[in-house]
Amino acid sequence: MRTQSIDTHPTAEKVQIQLLRQAGLSRRLDLARSLSLTTIEMSRNAIRKRYAEMNELQALLRFVAFCYGPSLAERLEHYIKRRTP
């Protein structure tokens, strides 16, 4: 089998794949959820760092624009403004 990762030793990768195959469905879903949350948090932190002058809402809207497109970010901004006193 061809290795999937350039920075993981082939033996370690085989062990990782074996462990994933042995894990139950809920464990695999938990791992996928955790990876997704970590990726989102890292992305949002990078935006905060790159655009330090932005407030939290602006950074959130930038994240939404990057991930889901500017149209959705604009709609979200209008929605938030309508709901915020």
Residue boundaries of the structural domains of the chain = 10-83
Model confidence at 1, pLDDT cuts 50, 70, 90, reads: low
Q: Give the number of other CB atoms < 10 A from CB of residue 74.
A: 13
55 by DSSP, 3-state: which? coil
Dump pLDDT digits (tens) for 11-39.
999 999 999 999 999 999 999 999 999 99
**pTM score of the predicted model:** 0.72
